[in-house]
Chains A and B, each alone.
Chain A
Amino acid sequence: MNIYKYASPINFYPLAGKLIPWFAIPAAVLFALGLFVGFFIAPTDFQQGDAYRIIFIHVPAAWMGMFLYILMAAYAGIGWAFNARLSSMMASAIATTGAMFTFLSLITGALWGKPTWGTYWVWDARMTSTLILLFLYIGFISLQASIDDPRRADRAGAVLAIVGVINVPIIYFSVQWWNTLHQGATIRLLQKPTIQGSMLYAMLIMLGACWLYSVAVVLIRLRCIILEREQNANRLVEAKA
């Protein structure tokens, strides 16, 4: 089987259609399982009470906002460097979902901040850099929408996406580099997590659900983008004939 043929949008279109249920259905199951563990198995936190249960949506949403931005920039960069149309389309498809998760992390963070810190918002490093991430997503989407020619829109978007990647490590390390109101990381790659087992499982299950959901909706949006661009190309063919 020649897998390289799927680099073509027209060949990838039916494959994406077949893949969508394989991500959407497990995403729904994992969302249900994560909420069950988060609300019925995980105990009440001794310091924050039940307010901490917001982390089961807040933390996965914040991680997804950052992961998806890196992924979007990588696809945009590949599309720009190698003139790969599908990669550029993938970057466009990821942007809205990434923006949605970043927005969700800001809203749920504000709702967590009020009972734990006494305020919905402060201009500290973590929150401000996450707000900048949302603006970068909005900028990417707006820039692409403002340029009629898709190829030029892809190139302009790629420049913005690649430059904006610098913001992701700033978000991640902001709680170490600056004295912020936001708490430090409780889960690190090379260290034992400082969070209770069932709380950690609930959060990881919700993260898995968010990943599967993201893949499903990105594939659906990608199919829309392929159709829209092919329709535009066909209109050009008809106009030339």
Chain B
Amino acid sequence: MNWPDLSLGGYGFYVWGSYLFALIAIAWEVVSLKQRRKSIGRHKTPERTPPSVIRGSANETTT
């Protein structure tokens, strides 16, 4: 096992910067999904809507 030195041979800014960006991107995605889920309603589960109603509404808005 090799223990890398934190400066990574002078490339630390680029390497750690890359992984920091990755961490921020993943954290942003997870947090934004949590907020989206929260805004819909925490314990909301979908109820069955008659397919005819859904089809009817789609036709109504497309024509």
If the complex has contacts A40-B1, A40-B2, A152-B62, are A103 and B29 also in contact, measured as CB distance less than 8 A? no
Q: How far is the CA of A104 from the CA of B8 in the complex (A)?
A: 21
CB contacts (< 8 Å) of A230 on chain B: these are: 46-47, 49
Q: How far is the CA of A61 from the CA of B45 in the complex (A)?
A: 33
If the complex has contacts A41-B2, A149-B58, A152-B62, are A111 and B14 also in contact, measured as CB distance less than 8 A? yes
Interface size on B, as a range, is 35 or more
Q: How far is the CB of B61 from chain A (nearest CB, A)?
A: 4
Number of interface residues of A (CB under 8 A): 50
The segment from A50-58, A72-80, A127-135, A170-178 that touches chain B is: A50-58
Instruction: Please tell me if the beta carbons of A10 and B14 are within 8 angstroms of each other in the complex.
Output: no
Instruction: Please tell me if the beta carbons of A41 and B1 are within 8 angstroms of each other in the complex.
Output: yes
Interchain CB contact (< 8 A) of A234 among B3, B11, B29, B47 = B47
Q: How far is the CA of A197 from the CA of B58 in the complex (A)?
A: 54
Q: How far is the CA of A223 from the CA of B10 in the complex (A)?
A: 45
CB contacts (< 8 Å) of B62 on chain A: these are: 149, 151-152
Instruction: Please tell me if the beta carbons of B58 and A61 are within 8 angstroms of each other in the complex.
Output: no
Q: How far is the CB of B27 from chain A (nearest CB, A)?
A: 11
A-B contact pairs, 15 of them (CB 8 A): A13-B45, A44-B2, A50-B9, A51-B8, A51-B9, A51-B15, A103-B25, A104-B21, A111-B14, A111-B15, A111-B21, A148-B61, A230-B46, A236-B57, A237-B49
List chain A positions with a Cβ less than 8 A from chain B. Answer: 9-10, 13, 35, 39-44, 49-51, 53-54, 57-58, 61, 96-97, 100, 103-104, 107-108, 111-112, 114-115, 148-152, 213, 217, 220-221, 223-224, 226-228, 230-231, 233-234, 236-237, 240
